[in-house]
Structures are given as C-alpha cells and as structure tokens.
Structure 1
Amino acid sequence: MASEPLGARYWTLWTSSALSNLADGVMKVALPLVAIRYTDSPALIAGLTFAFTLPWLVFALLAGALADRYDRRRLMLAANIARAAFLGFLTIAAVAGAGSIWMLYAAAICIGVAETVYDTSSQSILPQLVSKQSLSRANGRLYAAELTTNQFVGPPLGGFLVAAGIGVAFGAPVLLWVAAIGMLLLVRGRFTTDHPRTTTIRADIGEGLRFLRGNTLLRTLAIMVGGFNFASSAVFTVFVLYAVGPGSAMKLTDPGYGLLLTASALGSVAGTFLAEPAERLFGRSRALLLTVFGSLLTVATPAFTTNPYIIGAGFLLGGITVSIWNVITVSLRQRVTPQRLLGRLNSAYRLLAWGTMPLGAAAAGVIAQFFGIPAVFLSMGAIALAMLIGMIWVTDARMSAAETAAEEADERDHATYGR
C-alpha cells in the first residue's frame, strides 16, 4: 500500500527546520571553539554548556504551557527572531573587539531560552500537520534533515567558519535563522489546541506534570533519556579539550574536530531511516533495548583510545542507535498524549530528559578538573549502561495500551471543548 503523502505544509516546515538546525549545528561547534580563544579553563568551558542548557531546567515548563495555550507556529517564529537578534548582537560585539567569555555566557543563556520555546512548539505542532499513522515517517524525515544539518553539515562548517573569523562564524547562523523565519511564514493555518484558556499558567503546568507523573511509561522513558543526556552532555562538554590543539590528547585541528563529530551525524542520519524497519523487525521494546547498548559507545569510547578512527566508529554506531530511539519514542509520545496536553507533556518530559544536561556539564567540569578528562568518559559510560534498568517497564503491551487510552482521551476532549 502506498504511503500517505505528508503534504506541502509539512515539507515547508521541514525546510524551515533544516535551516534552523543548520544554524544550531554551526553554533554548537563555534561557541566552544571561540571560547577557548578567551580561556583554557575546563571549568569555564564546561560552564558555557551549562549556560546554554540551563533554560531546559528552569524555563521548559513555561514553554510547554505557552505551546498549548497559543499558536505553535507563531511561537516558533518568535523564538527564531529572538535567536537571530541575540546572536546578531554578539556578532557586532565580537567584530568590534568587545567579545569575552562572559558575553558568550550571556548569549548562550538567551539563545537557550528561545530554543526551549522553539523545540517544544516544533515537536507539538507535528501531529497537527500529519496523521497519527504517518508520525513515525514524518518524524524520521524531520530528524534526518535536522541531524544532517545540525550534526553533519553544521559542525565542520562551524570549524571552517571559526578559522575564517569570529564575525563570520557568528554571522552565518544569524542569516540562516532569518531564512528559516521566511520559510516558516509560508506554513499557513492555525495551530492552536482545544485548551479552554480559562485556567492559569500555573494550573496548566501542574496538569502537565501530573500527566507525566501518572504515566509510568513516559516517566520511565524521560528518566532514561535524562540519564543519557547527563552523560553525553558531560562527555561533549570537555571533549573539545581532549581533542583540539597540539597540547590535547588527540591533537586535532579545528576543522578536524568538526569532521570527527560528523561520524555521529552520519550514524544519526542513517538511524532515522532504519527506525521504521527496526520497529517492524524487532518490535519497539527490543529495538529500544538495542539502542541502550549503542548509547554506551557514544560516551565511553574515548576512555579507551585516542585514535580518531576508532572513536569515530563508536560515534557512528552510537548515532545510529540514538536516532532509532528518538524516532520511536517521540512518535510514541505524540500518539499517547492528548493534543491539548502535548506541549506541556513535551516540556515536562524534557525537564527530566534535558534538564540534566547542565548538571552533566557542571559534573564534567568538576571531574575533569580533579581527576582528568578520561575519568569523565569512564564515569559517564557507567551511567549510560544503567539505562538498562528502565527497560523493565518499557514493553510493547504497555505502549499499545497507552495509545488506546490517548485516543479515548482525545475523543472526550473534543466532546467537551469542541473545535
């Protein structure tokens, strides 16, 4: 049977997302590479990642409430406008010679806040563009674009742009975000929900938290992702110090560092296309179990070698499994959550799943400062392996039951609030 077309609006959103994520990919490499021009302190470098990810810990719940209360496309537009403006100011300051590590911190926090709004709204808008039956394919194609730009094209491009100058490295993402805004303006339609708009923001946030707390399946998945994100954030916070420069363990150049990160990107892109076949072949639960072992390769491989080819192979396999996990679990989350709660559920989920990233960055700085960078890789590998415990609660039967319950809840919401 032929697959249902995803539609013009989906592909316009896909293009906008690709441009936005290319800007993110350049920034991901540009920020730490620029930072090591201002300081060689592991703690300060780690602090930059902490600042960039801290908004997921303190602002995510509000972002989710906004995504359920207001038009999700307009929130995405506002977030990208804010990101372009913040980075534009930093670009001007850097070109004028007024840049510093502390200005990088300020920009990282502001851009991070905007990212919480954009990403929460982006994940919540997709079920309003495609059918539930098409979600796995739509998420897979969207992740392929995001990963190709964010991890495959963006990092090496960021390395080359930093070599060309700080103004170029920061100016390019500004232009990309402006282009993403233009494409998003072409996505027509209203993207609000059945939210009654008679409650307070605080009550909305509480409802989302109670939904996650009462759903054992989603809560377990969020905790598992939180553990892995703690570990991966810790590893990649200090990995630039381990990999770049003549005094580092790996002795890579700036462009070489960006190219190494593309191994993970290649695996991630491949994983987006392998997710549906893996789901059919193994079942969702077994496929997720295999990804746990793959995640170990992402964080622990550098503990045992400085060979960039071996580390790259570990990143490649780890990237494949991380993408399979993401496509399966995000599609599941979109199916099992009532539409009017999806923004708040996504934000509550990410509070657990992504809120650990600044904590991992902070832990990496402390561990690297007192025990050395390899100790970070070893300790984070142990945390990634502990994700196996969560698979006790992640079963195919539990996933199917949650999907059935969500369909019934959506029917009740339509009957209560209407369209």
Structure 2
Amino acid sequence: MASTIGSRTFGVAYPLLALAQTGSPAAAGLAGFALAVPMLVFYIPGGLLVDRVSARTIMLVTESGRWLTVVAVLLSMPGGGPSLPWLMVAAAFEGTLWVLYTLAETALLPSLVRPTMMWRAMAKSESVGHLASLVGRPLSGYLFGAGRYIPFALNAVLFVVSWLFFFALRRVPERPDAEPPLLRDLSAGFRALMDQPFLRGSILVTTFTNLMVNALIMIFVAGSAGMPSLAIGLVLAASGVGGMLGSVVAFFREPPREVLMIHGWTWVVALALAAVGAGVHAGPPFFAMAFFATGFAGAFSNVAIRSAEAENIDRRTLARVVGVSRLASHGALCLASPLGGLLVTGLGVTGGAIVLSVTMATAMALAHPGAKVRAVLLPRLPETRIDGEEPVQEELSLRGDKPPRRFGHVMR
C-alpha cells in the first residue's frame, strides 16, 4: 500500500515540480513522459529479469533505489531544485523501478497465498490500487501546494515503511531449477501465454477497451473548458470509485466464467451513456456514470485475469506473461490521448463520443457470430480442478465462509 501510494503521488509530483522549476507546461509534459515511458520499454525485459532472479530481492532493491532517487531530488531542493534533465532522469529511473517492483510483486504473491484464497487476495490488491489512486493523486497536488518538497519527503518515508514490511515475510524457496538460455527463456513466456485461451483473449479485450475508455477521458477533458475544476475532478474520480466498489464486490463474489463478455458489453453501455450525454448537452453526469461503470467492470475483470494468471501460469514464467499483458495495456494508454484529441478536433465532443460508442458496439457485435469466434475473442474463464501443492505461507490469506471455485490448474 505504501509503495503504491508513492507511485501515484509521483504521477502528479514530478510534472508539477517541472512546471514550478521552469514555468513551462511543455516541461511538465516531458517529466510525465519520462515517468511513463519505462512502462513501454521495460515490461518485457523486466519480466524476464524477475523470472530469473528472486522476486523478494528485486522488491527490496527497487524500493531502496526509489528511496535513493527521491532523497537525491530532496537534497537538490535547497540549491534551487533539480534541473529539467536531472528531473527527467529521476522520473525515468522511478518509472523503471516501479515496473520491476510490480512485476516482482505479481511473481511473489502466489507463494504467499493459499490457492483457495487467490482470487480474494487479488481483489484486495486491486482495491489497494484504486484506493491509492483516489488518495495519492489529489494528496500529492495538495501537498505540493503546501511546499514543493513535501510530496517527495512523504515518499521517502513511505519507501522506508514499505521496505521494512518485507522483513515480516518469511522466505520461501524460489526457482530452484537451472536457468535456460536467455532467448529460449524469453520465448517461453510467450508460449505460456499462447497456451492459455482465456489470458490470450483477455489481452485483446482489455487492450481494446482501455483504448476506448481512455480516449473517452481525453474527449471529456478536451471539452471541459469552462467547467469548475471541482466538477472535472469529481467526474474523473468516478472511475476510481467504481474500481473500488468493483474490487470489493469481487472479494465477496467470484467472477463469472463469462467475465470478458460482461466486460465488453459494460463498455458498450457506458460509451453509449457518454454519447447520449454529449448529445443532449448534459455531459458531466453521463460521463461520470460511464466512468463509474467502466471502473467497476474493469476492477472485477482484473481480479479474474490476475487470478487466472497466478493459478494457470507456471511461477517460473509468470512475470514474463504479466509483462506482455501490461505492455499491451499501457500501449493502449499511450495511443488513447492522441486518438481522443484527433476525434475532438475533427468531430467535436459529441461526434467523438458517438464514434467511440459505435466502434465499441460494432466490435462486440462482430465477436458474437458463432461459438468459435466467441471462444477466440471472448473466451470463458477456465474452471478445472486443483492440482498442486499449496504454498507454505498464509499471511495474506483472507477468510471466507466457503472455498471459492477454482479458476484453473496450478502448474508445478
């Protein structure tokens, strides 16, 4: 939780510091770009590294590196603050270490949680991410207004807290097998993903829907001129609120096998709501409902997908598989902003929202002509028996009244 809040605050703090240091919005954009670009560059090689090195060690090293980076930024404050090139280097380093941390966290979690409790643990992790976004981003802006060094000082403390938490975890055996050659090791991750129809389909569905909803966010922001900043913030926060509630529901109710189909049709309804709102010039409440719905369904789907990854993929290749999935997702985020901007420029807010709505509805209609097509584009969540030893550690297990249905076969 501490580390996740830190990452969310940096998404605001680095661009704000660049803006304060230079007075240039372009500099703020460069700082944000430096923070985000490692997500496009390092997920694949990061997954390869995490699968070859102890996940626990990587998490400890990355938290230490992030602490050193933020301390270096703090130490430059009395002398006028870091220059823009140094700030971009620090932001890029933070982004790279965050990628490695999240991949290592994903790889470590199956060894800490009983298989019967995996989906509940994933729901808890998902809710932490949404809560950190809701708290971290506005908190960072507020603290920066009180003093530009305060968000960085807070993160220095949070990283120490996160680092100390690792010593409460018992060590578990990790990857005793001999390491294969690097190229074959990399291809093994792709092969493992291709062998899982549900995970393969989930990448297609979530990449496309991420592109749609983030383009919609850009359309809303571009058309929000004249709106009070509080109203804009509340509309955008609806996604985080929906994500929080979706992850809470996922904690108590196991995802249905048709989770990807439900995910897609939720997007159809949500984008239609936004298009209607834009058309009748009552955009904010309709956009808020759309963002809430996609946040709710997205969190619910993420729990199912992350659980399926942890339970169906060999732990020795898990980080590589997750790296491919995250790369596709963040690639869609990078394309969404220019797509939304082009739609607003050419068609206006109403026209852009209608295009996204029609595109999403058409895509879902094309995915339903027959069982074979649905099996490829909208595969069902696997349901097979448990086969494998349970992990030795249970600290993150969460109690329930009955054991949940299994998502899939646990590979040894």
Q: For each residue in 1:341-390, what CA deviation from the matched residue of structure 2 results, as whole angstroms up to 9, or x when unmatched?
A: 111111122222223333445656x6389659848766666666566356
How far apart in 2 are the matches of 1:404 and 1:371?
A: 55
* Contact 2:312 2:409 survives alignment (8 Å): no
Counterpart code for 2:117: S
Q: Which of 301, 310, 314 matches 2:290?
A: 314
How far apart in 2 are the matches of 1:93 and 1:238?
A: 38
Which residue of the partner structure matches residue 341 of structure 1? 317
1:164 positional shift: 1.0
* Contact 2:110 2:310 survives alignment (8 Å): yes
Counterpart code for 2:319: G
1:314 positional shift: 3.3
Which residue of the partner structure matches residue 227 of structure 2? 250
1:218 positional shift: 1.8
> Which protein shows a greater Rg?
2
Which residue of the partner structure matches residue 226 of structure 1? 207
* Contact 1:275 1:327 survives alignment (8 Å): yes
Q: For each residue in 1:192-213, what CA deviation from the matched residue of structure 2 results, as whole angstroms up to 9, or x when unmatched?
A: 235422x233321121122223
1:334 positional shift: 1.4
Number of matched residues? 383
Q: For each residue in 1:116-151, what CA deviation from the matched residue of structure 2 results, as whole angstroms up to 9, or x when unmatched?
A: 111111112111111222111111112222221x22
Report the TM-score when normalising by structure 2: 0.77
Pair 169,261 (structure 1): closer, same or farther in 2 beyond 3 Å? farther
Tell me the percent identity. Answer: 21
How far apart in 2 are the matches of 1:211 and 1:252?
A: 46
1:39 positional shift: 2.6
* Contact 2:259 2:380 survives alignment (8 Å): no
Q: CA RMSD in A?
A: 3.8
Which residue of the partner structure matches residue 75 of structure 1? 58
Which residue of the partner structure matches residue 25 of structure 2? 40
Which residue of the partner structure matches residue 186 of structure 2? 205
Residue 355 of structure 1 aligns to a residue whose secondary structure is helix
Q: Which moved more, 1:336-345 or 1:211-220?
A: 211-220
Q: Which moved more, 1:287-296 or 1:71-80?
A: 287-296
Pair 281,65 (structure 1): closer, same or farther in 2 beyond 3 Å? closer
Counterpart code for 1:317: A
Q: Which of 125, 144, 160 matches 2:142?
A: 160
Q: Which moved more, 1:84-93 or 1:122-131?
A: 84-93
How far apart in 1 are the matches of 2:408 and 2:294?
A: 34
Pair 353,190 (structure 1): closer, same or farther in 2 beyond 3 Å? same
Which residue of the partner structure matches residue 417 of structure 1? none
How far apart in 1 are the matches of 2:221 and 2:86?
A: 20
Counterpart code for 2:243: S
Residue pairs, 1:187-198, within 5 angstroms: 187-190=169-172, 192-197=174-179
Does 2:248 correspond to 1:267?
A: no
Q: Which of 68, 93, 104 matches 1:110?
A: 93
Residue pairs, 1:11-410, within 5 angstroms: 18-37=1-20, 38-41=23-26, 48-94=31-77, 96-99=79-82, 102-148=85-131, 150-190=132-172, 192-197=174-179, 199-232=180-213, 248-252=225-229, 261-275=236-250, 279=254, 284-293=259-268, 296=271, 309-361=285-337, 367=342, 374=349, 388=364, 392=374, 393=376, 399-400=382-383, 410=411
Report the TM-score when normalising by structure 1: 0.76
1:292 positional shift: 3.4
How far apart in 2 are the matches of 1:408 and 1:168?
A: 47
Which residue of the partner structure matches residue 392 of structure 2? none
* Contact 1:69 1:192 survives alignment (8 Å): no
* Contact 2:120 2:252 survives alignment (8 Å): no
Counterpart code for 1:347: G
Higher helix share: 1
1:410 positional shift: 2.5
Residue 113 of structure 2 aligns to a residue whose secondary structure is coil
How far apart in 1 are the matches of 2:28 and 2:216?
A: 12
5+ unaligned residues in a row in structure 1: which ranges? 1-17, 412-419
Q: Which moved more, 1:381-390 or 1:23-32?
A: 381-390
5+ unaligned residues in a row in structure 2: which ranges? 369-373, 389-406
How far apart in 1 are the matches of 2:348 and 2:73?
A: 30
Q: Which moved more, 1:100-109 or 1:180-189?
A: 100-109
Counterpart code for 2:168: L
Pair 303,397 (structure 1): closer, same or farther in 2 beyond 3 Å? closer
Pair 103,359 (structure 1): closer, same or farther in 2 beyond 3 Å? farther
